[in-house]
């Protein structure tokens, strides 16, 4: 599997699905991709946009078909990315945050809590697609309870914002959301993740 992305991907399902089936992945050394690919173990990384580097990595795998243990790739991935492990890790993060003794400063500056640098804004859990990648369309969010542009004005200044969903283009106020998010960036590094555009 080759993931030649030039975007700051978060957690590409294609990579997870591939390695859970024991398929090594060649991916861009960018965004969240290197967090999933361990070079020489479950795939290889190449310099984004470097065609020669990508060609070399593809040739290397073709000429050395036995460098990866496909059953080990699958078994390790199925454990590491299981819903149970994910739940425990997430719970650990929440419990750690609950234990932090934050001062009255809502951003935790005085208490020494680290300031966030990146954010993924989940605009909706609605999606008109009925793809097999996920079943989010079966459990749509209530429009009245979704995050609003006013909510986003409370964000600290960030380096990177990923606006995603469901399907962000389901939001009638997407332009306002993007406008507010762009004002919360110290540097312009913004990504809109969407599957389709509404007609």
pLDDT, position 197: 41
Distance of CA 121 to the CA centre of its chain: 11
Q: What is the pLDDT along the chain (199 residues), one digit of tens a residue?
A: 999 998 888 888 999 999 999 999 999 999 899 999 999 999 999 999 999 999 999 999 999 989 999 999 999 999 998 888 888 888 887 777 666 644 445 554 555 556 778 888 888 888 887 776 677 778 788 888 888 999 898 888 888 888 887 788 888 999 999 899 888 887 656 566 665 443 3
The pTM of the full predicted model, rounded to 2 decimals, is 0.52
Cβ within 8 Å of residue 91, ≥6 positions away: none
Q: Does domain 2-80 have CATH number 3.40.50.2000?
A: yes
Cβ within 8 Å of residue 144, ≥6 positions away: none
pLDDT, position 104: 41
With 0-12 / 13-18 / 19 or more C-beta atoms within 10 angstroms meaning exposed / middle / buried, residue 38 is: middle
pLDDT, position 194: 62
Cα gap 25→58, rounded to integer Å = 10
């Amino acid at each position: 599997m080759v993931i030649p992305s030039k975007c700051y991907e978060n957690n590409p399902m294609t990579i997870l699905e591939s390695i859970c089936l024991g398929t090594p992945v060649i991916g861009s050394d960018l965004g969240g991709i290197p967090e999933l690919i361990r070079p020489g173990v479950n795939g290889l990384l190449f310099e984004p946009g470097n065609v020669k580097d990508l060609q070399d990595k593809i040739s290397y795998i073709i000429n050395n078909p036995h460098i990866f243990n496909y059953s080990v790739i699958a078994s390790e991935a199925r454990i590491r990315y299981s819903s149970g492990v994910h739940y425990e890790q997430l719970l650990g993060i929440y419990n750690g945050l609950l234990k932090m003794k934050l001062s009255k400063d809502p951003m935790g500056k005085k208490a020494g809590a680290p300031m966030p640098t990146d954010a993924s804004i989940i605009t909706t859990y609605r999606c008109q697609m009925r793809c097999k990648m996920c079943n989010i369309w079966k459990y749509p969010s209530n429009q009245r309870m979704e995050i609003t542009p006013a909510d986003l004005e409370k964000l600290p200044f960030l380096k990177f914002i990923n606006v995603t969903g469901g399907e962000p283009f389901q939001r009638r106020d997407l332009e306002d959301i993007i406008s507010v998010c762009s004002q919360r960036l110290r540097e312009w590094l913004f990504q809109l993740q969407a599957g389709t555009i509404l007609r």
